[in-house]
């Protein structure tokens, strides 16, 4: 059995930490994307500017992770009906979100670099029927630094499964977002109480870089 990483300092060592970026895609985040169009049709608010700020904060954390030597793993949704379960289709309504090969499925303001793992999922959970667990185990990862959208849906679903698989969970509260504020706050509270640690991007970046700073 491996030594238990009890403290946050132990858990956030770059050599066994991966920054996981979930669903930062045009259909979820961009003006003109699927969620924006659906919100407009229902006279609901959609804050594309807030999503841009979120992406920029994630980009800063991505840069810090790279400088510290921690891998960045990108998880993206492809939701064509041919990939989705009957229950998922019934709940999700019409087809059109994150369609394979579309502009909507492309990354929003962020791009993987050559060599970065990109994992494609067809459900909310980034581990379900994907190679994410194998990718992480192959790199000796023990801690997941979680970012992306939506806090209370795909981020939540993925971090819970990660916890059950044995990963330490660190949720970066200003690098996740949701159109449902109550759901967003609920996930933050649940992670604090049951699944891991919640901290800000500035502290997360500082801890990663401090771990590799010359003594």
Structural domains in the chain, CATH included, are 8-211 (3.40.50.850)
**11 pLDDT tier (thresholds 50, 70, 90):** very high
Active site residue 121: yes
More confident residue, 213 or 130: 130
Q: Which of 13-22, 46-55, 206-215 has the lowest mean pLDDT?
A: 206-215
Give the count of beta carbons closer than 10 Å to the beta carbon of residue 145: 30
The active-site residue out of 98, 121, 156, 175 is 121
Asked if 150 and 77 count as a contact pair (C-beta separation under 8 A), the reply is no
**80 pLDDT tier (thresholds 50, 70, 90):** very high
Average pLDDT of the residues in 117-121 = 98
Residue identified by tokens 């030597």 is 69
Q: What is the pLDDT of residues 183-210, one digit of tens each?
A: 999 999 999 999 999 999 999 999 999 9
Give the count of beta carbons closer than 10 Å to the beta carbon of residue 41: 8
What is the distance between the alpha carbons of residues 139 and 22, in angstroms, rounded to a whole number?
19
Asked if 158 and 128 count as a contact pair (C-beta separation under 8 A), the reply is no
Active site residue 23: yes
Share of the chain above pLDDT 70, in %: 99
Sheet holding 118-121, edge to edge: 118-121, 72-77, 17-22, 143-149, 168-177, 196-199
Q: What is the pLDDT of residues 42-74, one digit of tens each?
A: 998 999 999 999 999 999 999 999 999 999 999
**215 pLDDT tier (thresholds 50, 70, 90):** low
pLDDT of residue 108: 98
The active-site residue out of 27, 29, 98, 154 is 154
**93 pLDDT tier (thresholds 50, 70, 90):** confident
What is the distance between the alpha carbons of residues 6 and 190, in angstroms, rounded to a whole number?
19
Active site residue 91: no
E-only strand ranges, the chain: 17-22, 72-77, 118-121, 143-149, 168-177, 196-199
Asked if 150 and 35 count as a contact pair (C-beta separation under 8 A), the reply is no
The active-site residue out of 23, 29, 156, 175 is 23
């Amino acid at each position: 059995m491996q030594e238990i990483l009890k403290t946050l300092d132990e858990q956030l060592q770059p050599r066994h930490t991966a920054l996981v970026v979930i669903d930062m895609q045009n259909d979820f985040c961009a003006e003109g994307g699927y969620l924006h169009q659906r919100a407009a049709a229902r006279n609901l608010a959609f804050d594309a500017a807030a999503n841009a700020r979120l992406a920029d904060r994630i980009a800063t954390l991505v840069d810090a992770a790279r400088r510290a030597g921690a891998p960045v793993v990108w998880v993206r949704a492809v939701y064509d009906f041919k990939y989705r379960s009957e229950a998922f289709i019934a709940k999700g309504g019409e087809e059109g979100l994150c369609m394979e090969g579309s502009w909507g499925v492309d990354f929003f303001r962020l791009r993987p670099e050559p060599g970065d793992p990109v994992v494609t999922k067809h459900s909310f959970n980034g581990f379900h029927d994907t190679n994410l667990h194998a990718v992480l185990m192959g790199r000796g990862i023990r801690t997941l630094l979680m970012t992306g959208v939506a806090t209370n849906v795909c981020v939540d679903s993925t971090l819970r499964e990660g916890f059950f698989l044995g990963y330490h969970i660190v949720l970066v509260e200003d690098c996740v977002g949701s159109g449902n504020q109550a759901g967003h706050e609920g996930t933050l509270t649940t992670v604090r109480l049951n699944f891991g640690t919640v901290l800000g991007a500035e502290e997360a970046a500082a801890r990663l870089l401090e771990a590799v700073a010359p003594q």
